[in-house]
Structure 1
Amino acid sequence: MSNDKPTLEPPIGVLGGTFDPIHHGHLRLALETAEQLHLDEVRMIPNGQPPHRDAPAASAEQRAHWVNLATAPEPRLTMDSRELRRAGRSYTVDTLADMRAEWPNRPLCLIMGRDVFADLPSWHHWRELFELAHIALIDRGSSRPALAAEAAAELDIRYSDDPAILASRPAGAIIPIEPPTLAISASRIRALLAAGASPRYLLPDTVLEELMTTNVYSQPATTERS
Structure 2
Amino acid sequence: MNNSKAPIGILGGTFDPVHHGHLRLAMELASELRLAQVRLIPNGRPPHREQPGATPGQRAKWIRVATAEEPLLALDDRELLRDGASYTVDTLATLHADFPDNPLCLIMGRDVFAKLPSWHEWRRLFDYAHIVLIERPGLSATLAPEAAAELSARSASDIADLHNSASGIIYSYAPPPLAISASRIRDLIANGHSPRYLLPATILDDIMDSKIYHSPNGEDY
What CA distance in whole angstroms lies between the structure 2 residues aligned with 1:64 and 1:141? Answer: 30
What CA distance in whole angstroms lies between the structure 1 residues aligned with 2:142 and 2:58? Answer: 36
- Kept in 2, the 8 Å contact 1:25–1:183? The answer is yes
Match of 1:53 among 49, 54, 65: 49
Q: Which residue of 2 aligns with 1:211?
A: 207
- Kept in 2, the 8 Å contact 1:191–1:220? The answer is no
- Kept in 2, the 8 Å contact 1:139–1:177? The answer is yes
What CA distance in whole angstroms lies between the structure 2 residues aligned with 1:127 and 1:177? Answer: 21
After TM superposition, the structure 1 stretch with the greater mean CA deviation from structure 2, 106-115 or 177-186, is 177-186
Supply the AA of the counterpart residue of 1:62. Answer: Q
Q: Which residue of 1 aligns with 2:140?
A: 144
Q: Which residue of 2 aligns with 1:26?
A: 22
What CA distance in whole angstroms lies between the structure 1 residues aligned with 2:128 and 2:216? Answer: 40
Q: Which residue of 2 aligns with 1:173?
A: 169
Give how far 1:121 is off. 0.4
Supply the AA of the counterpart residue of 2:119. Answer: W
Q: Which residue of 1 aligns with 2:36?
A: 40
SS in 2 for 1:110: strand
| 1:80-127 Cα shifts (integer Å, max 9, x gaps) | 000000000000000000100111121000000011001100000000
Question: What RMSD in Å do the two structures reach over aligned CA positions?
Answer: 1.4
Match of 2:62 among 39, 61, 66: 66
Q: After TM superposition, where is structure 1 displaced by more than 2 Å over at least 4 residues in a row? A: 140-144
Q: Which residues of structure 1 form unaligned runs of 5+?
A: 1-7, 222-226
What CA distance in whole angstroms lies between the structure 1 residues aligned with 2:114 and 2:192? Answer: 36
SS in 2 for 1:180: coil
What CA distance in whole angstroms lies between the structure 1 residues aligned with 2:144 and 2:11? Answer: 22
**What is the percentage of aligned positions where both structures have the same residue?**
59
- Asked whether 1:160 is paired with 2:156, we answer yes
Give how far 1:67 is off. 0.6
- Kept in 2, the 8 Å contact 1:36–1:177? The answer is no
Aligned residues: 214
TM-score norm. by structure 2 comes to: 0.93
After TM superposition, the structure 1 stretch with the greater mean CA deviation from structure 2, 9-18 or 178-187, is 178-187
Match of 2:190 among 176, 182, 194: 194
